[in-house]
Chains A and B, each alone.
Chain A
Amino acid sequence: MRDTRWVRRLALRVRTLLLRDRVERELDEEFRFHIEERIAAEVARGLSPQEARRIALLSMDGVDQAKEACRDTRHTQAIEHFFRDVRYALRSLARSPAFAAIAILSLALGMGANTAIFSIVDKLLLESLPVRNPRELVLLNPSGLRNGWTAGSRTWSYQAYRGLRERQRVFTGLIAERTDAVNLTVDGATQRAVASIVSGNYFDVLGVRALQGRLFGDDDDRVRSGHPVVVLSHGFWVERLGSRSDIVGGTLRVGGHPFNVIGITERGFNGLEVGGPVDLFVPTMMLPDVVTYTKALDERTAYIFQVYGRLAPGTGRQQAESQLQPVYLTELEQDVAAMGSRAPTGDSWKRGTLRLEDGHRGTSGLRRDLQTPLTAVMAMTIVLLLTACANIAGLQMARASARLKEISIRLAMGASRGRILQQLLTESAVIALLGALAGLWVAWLTIRLLLAEMGDSAERLRLVTTFLDVRVLAFTFVFATATGLAFGLLPALFATRPEVWPGLKSGIVADVGGQARLRRVLVMAQLALSLVLVTASGLFGRTLLNLRRADAGFQTERLVQFQLNPGAAGYDRARSEALFHEILDDLRSVPGVSRATLSVAPVLDNALMGFSLDVDGYSGRDGARARAVASVVAPEYFGFVGTPLVRGREFSASDTARSRRVAIVSETFVQRYLPNLDPLGRTIGLSYGRGERFYHEIVGVAKNARLNNLRDEPPPTFYLPYTQFDVLNNSFVLARIQTDPDLLRRPIEALVRRHDPELPVVAYSTVDEQIDRLLRPERLVASLSLAFGLLATGLGAIGLYGVVAFTVARRTREIGVRMALGAARGTVLRMVLRGVAGIAAMGVGAGAILSLALARYVESQLYGVRARDFATLGAAAALLVMVALISGWLPARKASRVDPMLALRQD
């Protein structure tokens, strides 16, 4: 027989919880009925009604105890108490709206900032790639010789990768990958897209699944240019193709060549670069079709791939490294053999090692740029939260002492200390929870703001897809609870001490000094933390200003740049050059454009290519070559950008592909590689990774310009005319303008379209905007630290006001006596302010020590100002002391206005 009791029991408990009032009334009514009946029976036996009533009540054994016993049988007491506490807490918060507002607001800001920063820190710095067993992945980082140029972690040639893959035994899978920007044509419209060119086993090894269609296998990667298949990423399919159902099985053009769409990846996978989401995937065999390095797959010295491996389970990293070493050396030997006469002399290259680096978080340029700033910001948000907690603790203590009488009464009437503590803690928890809920909203706003600051748009980064993921919620909840306990426990314990009982009688509570001391310490802590934040904001603000004012070495105003990619549209070299030539001419006749020139690399985008050069007149140690970055430009470039030449001449129209090869070098280049020598007339030799070297004669020396970014000292730089540079697949066009850049966009796009409708204008922006983008991390940190500094100072001011008001109220009688004995208003004011100054001095002093101690952690973030800058520290300290004095002055003024008669009469 099934026992259905539990249904009934559950129903009863639910009824008790929901219809509490009705249940209580029923209990009353039941007892009343019984008593009435009893009275009736006694009266029937002959007693008087009054006597009968007395007997009846007596026989009940104490009605209240009996009722309580009935309630106990319900086993819902704990929950009922909790609900009652919550309702009580809400009511008492409603009675003190100012306190509630300040408490919830400061918590919301503190916790909201924390949640927001933590979300981003989690996604960018902590989270693993959404692949199978990410911890097994390693990035292969070789330290052997590298010729030509390498970019970031792209340190493998295709041939070396294949060699390694065949011969190695430690990985269950080895994949090669590189990312390129490509021209994508869908239904006739061309746009730029990010493509990942991957080995056939990429999806298998990573364990990525298809949402629709299928993904590559090794069979899709066997024959050169023989597999025109493409896989789309889910994000791209949703964002830019509108989730159309007909795309799989259809065709689109990548780099001008037709590709079949065979599938779409599962949601959440965006390639191996965090913050640089991939739009589509093509096999390595299609590399020559997609980007125009026609021989790239064969060149042993074209280091263009990054290689990841999945370690067999149980294989340690060091063990794998030592097992791979001989295989790696074999590849190095082949590399050297392929270099022929350009091979390095000596044997030092044989000592090259292959390091395996942690791969579970993928690679991320964004992470590299933002790791330190984000950590600094996270530290600041925690400091802010602590300040908020200290504030609320102080406020809670003040409230607790105001309710002392009420609590004493309850204790005297038999409430257990535990119950009251429970109720006070519930109150703290309610505040914390309300603060956390408001904080979630603040966090949502903050994340939107931060992502807008950090990247082109929140969606573009695909960083935070679901803001409210489980980890964030769990984090917020734990923080809220911990915070609630933190600022609730101390005041609660304090308020329920037995020594508090005498407060019932006289209203004077013993050991209030203890409470005042504690609150003073809290305020001092707040001031100290505020000083740290304000000093930080001063340092970061100055850094930002310094960077903005930094001399780029060329005129950045009224300068627009955009990119054209004829190579990606299938143009050959000659056609590209002709195109650029024509466009430059046509541009000059667009109204609003005064001059135009070319620069293959964009300015101020950390985009200059690095080369190893033979410099006539320089020999490095062990035969090492000179290293410099290259800027490939059009004639009259220097006059255009405003970088003066200190020697020699500019490039001119007569420097063509057929004339003598020339170059211009920067001052640093001369200082580094040709000191005390006349650079003009000397040659520099570079190769493009194909073995042949080209020698250019130096015909000019230019002043240093910061072409990569505003922070770093400009590296040795050399300039080549674009007619004499190997590739011209793409280039940036720079235009000096006289009107609003937005107005010029359409005319320029129309101009380009007239030459080729399938050639998009890419990355159109002013150089000022470029600088803004470059300085984004600095701006982020500066503005956040300023906001936090202000918030913390505000909270500290409120806390200080509270403490002083409390102290003054306590000493009202004393003040009255003093004034009655003749003390002037001013004396009283000075007395109180001295106390305030004392608190402020100690707080600021502690903060100064803390700031100096923490200084070295932010050193790397600063520019043009040292971390232990006393001017900034002094200014921050002065500001804080002033704020403290003002917030202390207000209650002090009230104290000095006290009527001595009233004060003396006060209890």
Chain B
Amino acid sequence: MASVTETMSKPPDLVQGTLDLLLLTIIALEPVHGWAISQRLKQMSDDALQVSDGSLYPALHKLEQEGWIRGDWKISANGRRAKFYTLTRPGRRALEREAAEWKRLAGAISHMVRLIEG
């Protein structure tokens, strides 16, 4: 059982741009609602990455306003209505661009770190 303190401590919030990238990758896999996104983020990163619920929705809404993702209301697994987000075509292209950029950046940083480690 998780201790109260564990659930109370806030994990570090992700930088906005990175958060956007992560959300887009999750949504790219299949249509999901906000709760599922936060769960999946925890799962797929082995709890390394968490986003506070208060920052999740503003980020999602921003992506929606920008036109990268689209919201549709559907019936969820437990029978209630939920807003499912899907990637739009421009969103998919943006994701590819950002992912490529991230890989380039990450590769450069890893390279630098390996140098230090010897």
Task: Tell me the residues in window 1-55 of chain A with beta carbons closer than 8 Å to chain B beta carbons.
Answer: 1, 3-6, 8-9, 12, 26, 29-31, 33-34, 36-38, 40, 45-46, 55
- Interchain CB contact under 8 A, A73 and B52: no
Residues of B bordering A, CB below 8 Å: 1-2, 7-8, 33-35, 52-55, 57-58, 61-62, 64-68, 70, 73, 76, 78, 80-83, 88-90, 93
- Interchain CB contact under 8 A, A30 and B83: yes
Chain A 317-348: CB-based contact to B (< 8 A → 1; otherwise 0): 00000000000000000000000000000000
* Cross-chain pair count, CB within 8 angstroms: 82
At the interface, yes or no: A70 with Cβ under 8 Å from chain B? yes
- Interchain CB contact under 8 A, B80 and A36: yes
What are the nearest 6 A-B pairs in CB distance? A61-B54, A5-B67, A69-B58, A37-B35, A73-B62, A8-B67
Q: Report the Cα distance A460→B1, complex, angstroms.
A: 96
Question: If A8-B88, A12-B65, A33-B80 touch, does A62 touch B54 (CB 8 Å cutoff)?
Answer: yes
Picked from B52, B54, B58, B82, the residue with its CB within 8 Å of the CB of A33 is: B82
Q: Nearest chain B CB to A258's CB is how many angstroms away?
A: 74
Please, which residue of chain B has its CB at the minimum distance from the CB of A31? B57
- Known A59-B7, A60-B53; further 19 A-B contacts with Cβ < 8 A: A1-B93, A4-B89, A5-B88, A9-B65, A9-B66, A29-B81, A30-B57, A30-B83, A33-B76, A33-B80, A59-B52, A61-B55, A62-B54, A66-B53, A69-B54, A70-B61, A72-B58, A74-B61, A74-B65
Q: Nearest chain B CB to A13's CB is how many angstroms away?
A: 8
CB-defined contacts of B61 to chain A, threshold 8 Å:
70, 73-74
CB-defined contacts of A12 to chain B, threshold 8 Å:
64-65, 67
Q: Report the Cα distance A72→B59, complex, angstroms.
A: 11
Q: Report the Cα distance A405→B35, complex, angstroms.
A: 44
Q: Nearest chain B CB to A284's CB is how many angstroms away?
A: 71
- Give chain A's interface residue range (CB within 8 Å of chain B): 20 to 34
Q: Nearest chain A CB to B37's CB is how many angstroms away?
A: 10
- Interchain CB contact under 8 A, A60 and B54: yes
- Interchain CB contact under 8 A, B57 and A9: no
Picked from B7, B65, B76, the residue with its CB within 8 Å of the CB of A55 is: B7
CB-defined contacts of A46 to chain B, threshold 8 Å:
1
Q: Nearest chain B CB to A29's CB is how many angstroms away?
A: 7
Picked from A26, A33, A45, A69, the residue with its CB within 8 Å of the CB of B35 is: A33
Please, which residue of chain B has its CB at the minimum distance from the CB of A41? B39
Q: Nearest chain A CB to B95's CB is how many angstroms away?
A: 14
Q: Report the Cα distance A74→B2, complex, angstroms.
A: 37
- Interchain CB contact under 8 A, A65 and B54: yes
Q: Report the Cα distance A36→B58, complex, angstroms.
A: 19
Question: If A5-B66, A30-B82 touch, does A59 touch B33 (CB 8 Å cutoff)?
Answer: no
CB-defined contacts of B8 to chain A, threshold 8 Å:
58
Q: Can you offer 27 A-B residue contacts whose CB atoms are under 8 A?
A: A3-B90, A5-B88, A5-B90, A9-B66, A9-B67, A12-B67, A29-B81, A30-B33, A30-B57, A30-B82, A33-B33, A33-B34, A33-B76, A33-B81, A34-B35, A38-B53, A40-B78, A55-B7, A61-B53, A65-B54, A66-B58, A69-B58, A70-B58, A70-B61, A73-B58, A73-B61, A73-B62
Which of B7, B58, B76, B81 has most A Cβ within 10 Å?
B58
- Interchain CB contact under 8 A, A61 and B52: yes
At the interface, yes or no: A75 with Cβ under 8 Å from chain B? yes
Picked from A5, A6, A34, A74, the residue with its CB within 8 Å of the CB of B34 is: A34
Q: Report the Cα distance A72→B7, complex, angstroms.
A: 29
Q: Report the Cα distance A250→B51, complex, angstroms.
A: 88
Picked from B53, B65, B66, B81, the residue with its CB within 8 Å of the CB of A59 is: B53
- Interchain CB contact under 8 A, A4 and B90: yes
Please, which residue of chain B has its CB at the minimum distance from the CB of A63? B54
- Interchain CB contact under 8 A, B57 and A26: no
Q: Nearest chain B CB to A18's CB is how many angstroms away?
A: 16
Q: Report the Cα distance A191→B13, complex, angstroms.
A: 91
CB-defined contacts of B2 to chain A, threshold 8 Å:
45
CB-defined contacts of B64 to chain A, threshold 8 Å:
12, 73
CB-defined contacts of A72 to chain B, threshold 8 Å:
58
Please, which residue of chain A has its CB at the minimum distance from the CB of B90? A5
Which of A4, A33, A58 has most B Cβ within 10 Å?
A33
- Interchain CB contact under 8 A, A66 and B57: yes
Q: Nearest chain A CB to B100's CB is how many angstroms away?
A: 16
Please, which residue of chain B has its CB at the minimum distance from the CB of A2? B90
CB-defined contacts of B83 to chain A, threshold 8 Å:
26, 29-30, 33
CB-defined contacts of A36 to chain B, threshold 8 Å:
80
Q: Report the Cα distance A6→B67, complex, angstroms.
A: 8
Please, which residue of chain A has its CB at the minimum distance from the CB of B91? A5
Q: Report the Cα distance A782→B1, complex, angstroms.
A: 95
Question: If A5-B66, A9-B65, A12-B64 touch, does A34 touch B53 (CB 8 Å cutoff)?
Answer: yes
Please, which residue of chain A has its CB at the minimum distance from the CB of B39? A41
Please, which residue of chain B has its CB at the minimum distance from the CB of A8? B67
- Interchain CB contact under 8 A, B57 and A70: yes
CB-defined contacts of A69 to chain B, threshold 8 Å:
54, 57-58
- Interchain CB contact under 8 A, A73 and B34: no
Q: Nearest chain B CB to A54's CB is how many angstroms away?
A: 11
CB-defined contacts of A45 to chain B, threshold 8 Å:
1-2
Q: Nearest chain A CB to B112's CB is how many angstroms away?
A: 35
- Interchain CB contact under 8 A, A26 and B54: no
Q: Nearest chain B CB to A10's CB is how many angstroms away?
A: 10
Q: Nearest chain B CB to A93's CB is how many angstroms away?
A: 34
Q: Nearest chain A CB to B52's CB is how many angstroms away?
A: 6
CB-defined contacts of A5 to chain B, threshold 8 Å:
66-68, 88, 90
CB-defined contacts of A8 to chain B, threshold 8 Å:
67, 70, 88
Q: Report the Cα distance A717→B2, complex, angstroms.
A: 120
Q: Report the Cα distance A36→B77, complex, angstroms.
A: 13
CB-defined contacts of B81 to chain A, threshold 8 Å:
29, 33
CB-defined contacts of B88 to chain A, threshold 8 Å:
5, 8
Q: Report the Cα distance A654→B62, complex, angstroms.
A: 106
